[in-house]
C-alpha cells in the first residue's frame, strides 16, 4: 500500500525537515518488506488558497484517486501506536492501494473535507503546530512499520 502525505504549508529546511526526511527514509526501508511504501509528499500553498475551503480544493487535487483518507484533527480519536499500526495493516490487508494522510493548515481542515475521511486522528487534546504534527506523523509511520515487522524500536 502506498502511503501519501498531504499537507498545507511548505516544510523548509531546518530541524523539522531533517526529522521528516529521516523518519520517512526509515519508514521506506522498514515498510518495503511489509507492503508499505511512501507514495509521496504533496504540499499545498497556504497563503493564497482562500482559507480552509481553498486548501481543501488543493488537497483533494493532490490526493490519489480512490485513496482512503485519514486526517489529523484535534477532534479526532486518539490512538495508541500499536492501534495505528493495526489500522494501517487492516487498510493494506483489505486491498487498499493508497492511503492519504492529511494535515491541515493553521485554521485546520475544511469541515466538508474532514467529513470525507475514514478516520480522524488526534495527537492529544493539545493543539500542535502543523509542522510539528508532520514530524510526529512521520515518526508514527516509522514506528508502525517497526511494530508490524516485530522490530525493537517500539518498546511499550
Full residue range of the structural domain in which residue 38 is found: 10-149
Per-residue pLDDT of 92-136, as tens digits, reads 999 999 999 999 988 889 999 999 999 999 999 888 888 899 999
> Is 47 part of any domain?
yes
Residue 76 domain flag: yes
pLDDT recorded at residue 121? 97
- Is residue 4 in a domain? no
SS3 helix, strand, coil % of the chain, rounded to 5?
A: 45, 25, 30
119 within some domain: yes
Distance CA 32, CA 1 (A): 10
Q: What average pLDDT does the structure give for the chain?
A: 94
Q: What is the pTM of this model?
A: 0.94
Coil, strand or helix at 71? strand
- CATH number of the domain residue 84 falls in: 3.40.1280.10
Sequence-distant (≥ 6) Cβ neighbours of residue 61 within 8 angstroms: none
Spatial distance between the Cα atoms of 135 and 17, rounded to a whole number of angstroms: 8
State how many domains the chain has. Answer: 1
Residue 5 lies in a domain: no
Question: C-alpha dihedral over 115, 119, 125, 131, to 10 degrees?
Answer: -90
Amino acid at each position: 500500500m502506498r502511503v501519501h502525505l498531504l499537507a498545507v504549508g511548505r516544510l523548509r529546511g531546518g530541524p523539522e525537515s531533517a526529522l521528516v526526511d529521516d523518519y520517512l527514509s526509515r519508514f521506506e526501508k522498514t515498510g518495503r518488506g511489509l507492503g508499505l511504501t511512501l507514495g509521496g509528499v504533496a504540499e499545498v500553498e497556504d497563503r493564497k488558497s482562500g482559507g480552509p475551503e481553498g486548501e481543501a480544493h488543493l488537497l483533494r487535487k493532490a490526493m490519489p484517486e480512490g485513496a482512503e483518507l485519514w486526517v489529523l484533527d484535534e477532534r479526532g480519536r486518539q490512538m495508541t501506536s500499536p492501534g495505528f499500526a493495526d489500522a494501517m495493516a487492516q487498510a493494506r490487508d483489505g486491498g487498499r492501494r493508497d492511503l492519504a494522510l492529511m494535515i491541515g493548515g493553521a485554521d485546520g481542515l475544511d469541515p466538508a473535507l474532514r467529513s470525507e475521511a475514514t478516520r480522524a486522528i488526534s495527537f492529544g487534546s493539545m493543539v500542535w503546530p502543523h509542522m510539528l504534527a508532520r514530524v510526529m506523523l512521520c515518526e508514527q509511520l516509522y514506528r508502525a512499520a517497526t511494530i508490524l515487522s516485530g522490530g525493537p524500536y517500539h518498546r511499550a
